[in-house]
Amino acid sequence: MNLINGKEVAAKVKNDVRGDAEYLSDCFGVKPGLAVILVGDDPASAVYVKNKTKDCAEVGFESFEHILPASTTQEELMALVKQLNADKKVHGILCQLPLPKHLNEREIINAIDPKKDVDAFHPENVGRIMIGDYDFLPCTPAGVMELIHSAGISVSGKKCTVIGRSNIVGKPMAMLLLHENGTVTVCHSKTRNLAEECKDADILVAAVGRAKLITADMVKEGAVVIDVGMNRDENGKLCGDVDFESVKDKAGFITPVPGGVGPMTRAMLMKNTLTAYKKAFGIR
């Protein structure tokens, strides 16, 4: 078993971003800027926003936090997005999801300028990912690909199984594996014989949000196992969608939880923000 250490890979990505950001900030006299919108007081979302602010400081970005009350109206939120779209100091815009139930998430995502959509959720960016002509990738699937590459693993010709079909992880994850010539199967709650589908995979990506769903009997000997899940077990301890203890000795490569995909998601957000900044100044 080879452990793929997300903390180490994320540190390298952020180090590269910091080097570019320092050089370009000196050239253009302005730092890359990320605006984060948080509506309401969801504790998990508040932690994410705090971490993103910390990451910005670490790589030399400007961070613009907009913490709004849960009572914020659709009109108020749309007005803020419009303001940030026009702000030349802001190169990336991220609206922390989920939003309070009275707000229309889709309308907000669609309102963000695709050139500043560092989450890559805007339909224009989603479409560009589909055809393989993209500027940004959703941060978690992009982080997974970075981890796979860091371990020297080739996707081409491999059987790849993605468990989960969300717009944020599952669907774009399948597309990125397909772009690298993987033969991709997407499993979900209606999949029959999930264990058989998993057992066939050379590369298995679990992104379903169910603690320890994937056990050793569902994993092929020597498979690459990427755990995107972030759950709590029966003792309240952080765990993934993969039963790490039972699977680790069977897998060829495996990511831990915590310390696997999580740090990569944050690092790729910084990379996307740098890309948006470069594009704003006409740099490819």
What pLDDT sits at residue 103? 97
| Cα 273–Cα 277–Cα 282 angle in degrees, nearest 5 | 145
Q: Which of 20, 55, 96, 116 is catalytic?
A: 96
What is the per-residue pLDDT for 36?
96
Domain 29-113 matches domain 139-261 at the CATH topology level? yes
**183 vs 198: CA distance, rounded Å:** 13
Whether 42 sits among the annotated catalytic residues: the reply is: no
- Which pLDDT score is estimated for 35? 98
How far is residue 32's CA from residue 280's CA, in Å, rounded to a whole number? Answer: 10
Nearest-angstrom CA–CA distance, 60 and 242: 35
- Among 119, 135, 241, 243, the active-site one is 119
Distances (CA, A) of 257 to 226, 230, 237, 265: 10, 7, 10, 13
Residue 24: per-residue pLDDT: 96
State residue 280's pLDDT score.
Answer: 96
From first to last of the 284 residues of the chain, give the pLDDT tens digit.
Answer: 799 999 999 999 999 999 999 999 999 999 999 999 999 988 878 888 889 999 999 999 999 999 999 999 999 999 999 999 999 999 999 999 989 999 999 999 999 999 999 999 999 999 999 999 999 999 999 999 999 999 999 999 999 999 999 999 999 999 999 999 999 999 999 999 999 999 999 999 999 999 999 999 999 999 999 999 999 888 888 999 999 999 999 999 999 999 999 999 999 999 999 999 999 999 97
For 214, other C-beta atoms within 10 Å of its C-beta total 25
**Does residue 52 carry a catalytic annotation?**
yes
User: For position 1, what pLDDT does the model report?
Assistant: 77
Q: Is the Cβ–Cβ distance between 225 and 198 less than 8 Å?
A: no
- Contact between residue 243 and residue 214 where contact means Cβ atoms under 8 Å apart: yes
Q: Which CATH superfamily is domain 139-261 in?
A: NAD(P)-binding Rossmann-like Domain (3.40.50.720)
Catalytic residue among 14, 20, 31, 52: 52
Question: Which DSSP string do the residues of 165-219 spell out, in sequence order?
Answer: --TTTHHHHHHHHHHTT-EEEEE-TT-SSHHHHHHT-SEEEE-S--TT-B-GGGS
- To the question of domain 29-113 being in CATH 3.40.50.10860, the answer is yes
Active site residue 31: no
The confidence score (pLDDT) of residue 46 equals: 83
Q: What residue spans define the domains of the chain? A: 29-113, 139-261
Q: Given the DSSP bridges, would you call strands 238-239 and 231-232 parallel, antiparallel or unpaired?
A: antiparallel
